[in-house]
Chains A and B, each alone.
Chain A
Amino acid sequence: MTTRRGAHSQRGRPPRALVLLAALTLTFLLVPFAALLQRAPWSGLIDLLREPVVTEALRLSLISACLATALSLLGGIPLAWMLARTDFPGRSLVRALVVLPMVLPPVVGGAALLFAFGRRGLVGGPVYDGTGFLLPYSLWGVVAANTFVALPFLVVTVEAGLRSADLRYEDAAATLGAGRWMVFRQITLPMILPSVVAGAVLCWARALGEFGATVTFAGNLQGRTQTMPLAVFLALESDREAAIALSLVLVAVSLAVLLPLRDRWLAA
């Protein structure tokens, strides 16, 4: 699975063209971060981060990204299983629909969510009339927008894991008397755990950075639906230093989560 350290030395030096292009790409990725660090208002940073705008946005972002990931796991794994392991009419169409939010501009996704679950939406209308419950402009609206956009990352990753898993172990479990549910729980799920974790990380990261669908569907209400990306966008207009501080926090949180997981799960 993993390449042994130092294995490259046996195959000679890496080609110069590849090294050059890789270095250019890395520079392109790192310069914006460097610029961010360079412009950071280091002296007033602590005070800036204590502002309620920042703490509330951070709290909302973390909560909604985690909830969206949990929902995606709950619904995405079964969906991935259906796509990988069963044959039903229109499966390829379903697969295309599942990844649609990946290619769709998030704003379009947010608008679609509004038409579906808004106060006068296809589903949201009757629900509001009956119960008074309204999804948009609430924390659950943020979670819905995040899930809508981030779910495909989980489904695609888990489906790939299911497809590459060795089916013979599932066969062996079946011959021992395990029904499909027990096989799934005790054999399949442990086997695809790396894919599930990788998918969840991608999903979480996508949810954390979600902007377009959230602002369209859930609005930009400080303390209620204003997540970090929204706060950054707003601050850029009024208080550039606050925007930079918020951005730094977002970068730091992302790195803190992604770095440890990357080595453990994403290195293939």
Chain B
Amino acid sequence: MLRADVVLRLGALDLSAEVEVADGEVVAVLGPNGAGKSTLLRAVAGLLPLDRGVISVDGEALDAPDAGIFVPTHRRPIGVVFQDHLLFPRLSAVDNVAFGLRARGMRKPDARRVATGWLERVGLADHAGAKPGALSGGQSQRVALARALATEPRVLLLDEPLAALDARTRLHMRAELRRHLATFPGARLLVTHDPIDALVLADRLVVLEAGRVTQEGTTDDVVRHPRSRYVAELVGVNLLHGTAVGDHRVRLAGGAELVVADPVPATDVAVAVRPQAVTIHRDEPEGSARNAWPATVAELEARDDRVRVQLAGPVGTGGGGQAGLVAEVTPAAVAALGLAPGTAVWATVKAVDLAVYER
């Protein structure tokens, strides 16, 4: 169990964040560049001392400025997989993995034998003698993981573990990393700016923005109820701010009103709507969709096999609706509806597709 209550200032960053990771749990700290993710991780690893707060593993304090405790990095039961893997360039793969064991005083032949076992587990037994320069991105990532796990730490930290990989390797390594992480019994804390990494690898998300935790919860919870614009954009959800004007009605900042299926829980609320739930029509629709409004196509953006349509209108993610609502449709629908920037359309959302929650 890792407990990190981190308060520290570093240059322009003012970090004050609390994260707890239970044994067997994977927590992802998700946030934009400069939010303080890596700083948080470095503090946990002991590479940066805290100004205030406490870091403890299984109840044992590692950094507690108030109590005058600071356990240096090399004595912490914490393994780290770094962003660029940082394999020692002059050592072979097996000696990289054996490094931590040697540091603990294990004799060279024994350390090599154990390290070879770890390389086998990540499927690299036949690359034991290879220097890091001769390994592919995916391979060096696996060596880095084996190296961090070989010392059998109680906590595993991963700093943007997949960021150094190209897109194709990344897809493959993400699934593999998930498998390897599952075999590690301790607490796992991973830092990433990539929501997909976070969603695939983590049980729980902690969103860090400008040094503060702005949201935390299960991945499901965060995706369904993003609480900030950043999270909404990140996990691909439209996030609308508004106030309750009835049990099932919300007035948005821009003045438009939405009908929601669930009872509105508070006065200040956020409404999340997935882009797939926004339907686009050329003419004013008739029928059951009570949330309908005229809009203009601002921008079309192809993403994978879908098209994201930015709609300018009274309903939007920014105050006054300047930042458009995003709808996601198929290329066929774009063709059938004749959508192009400037096209006047109608947008509808079913009340049941609007998730409303307290801000």
Contact = CB atoms under 8 A, between A and B. Distances in A.
B264 to A, nearest CB: 49
B88 interface: yes
B161 to A, nearest CB: 14
A180 to B, nearest CB: 8
Most B CB contacts (10 A, CB to CB) among A168, A176, A179, A182 go to A176
Interface in A124-179: 168-169, 171-179
A176 B151 contact: yes
B79 interface: yes
Interface residues of B, number: 24
B78 interface: yes
A182 B42 CA distance: 20
A172 B80 contact: yes
B74 A174 contact: yes
B100 A176 contact: yes
Nearest to A172: B86
A177 B82 contact: no
For the complex, would chain B's binding face be called helix, strand, loop or mixed by DSSP majority? mixed
A174 B90 CA distance: 17
Contacts of A260: none
A190 interface: yes
A187 interface: yes
Nearest to B83: A168
A167 to B, nearest CB: 9
Contact of A178 (B45, B74, B80): B74
B88 A174 contact: no
A177 B74 contact: yes
Interface residues of A, number: 17
Contacts of A182: 103
A178 B90 contact: no
B86 A168 contact: yes
B90 A190 contact: yes
A173 B147 CA distance: 10
B47 A177 contact: no
B141 to A, nearest CB: 14
Contacts of B147: 176
A179 to B, nearest CB: 5
Contact of B80 (A175, A180, A186): A175
B86 A174 contact: no
B206 to A, nearest CB: 21
A174 B88 CA distance: 12
B106 to A, nearest CB: 10
A174 B47 contact: yes
Contacts of B82: 168, 171-172
B188 to A, nearest CB: 15
A176 B78 contact: no
Interface of A: 168-169, 171-180, 182-183, 186-187, 190
30 contacts: A168-B86, A169-B88, A171-B42, A171-B86, A172-B82, A173-B88, A173-B99, A174-B46, A174-B47, A175-B45, A175-B74, A175-B78, A175-B79, A175-B148, A176-B99, A176-B100, A176-B103, A176-B148, A176-B151, A177-B100, A177-B103, A177-B104, A177-B151, A178-B74, A178-B100, A179-B72, A179-B74, A180-B74, A183-B74, A190-B90
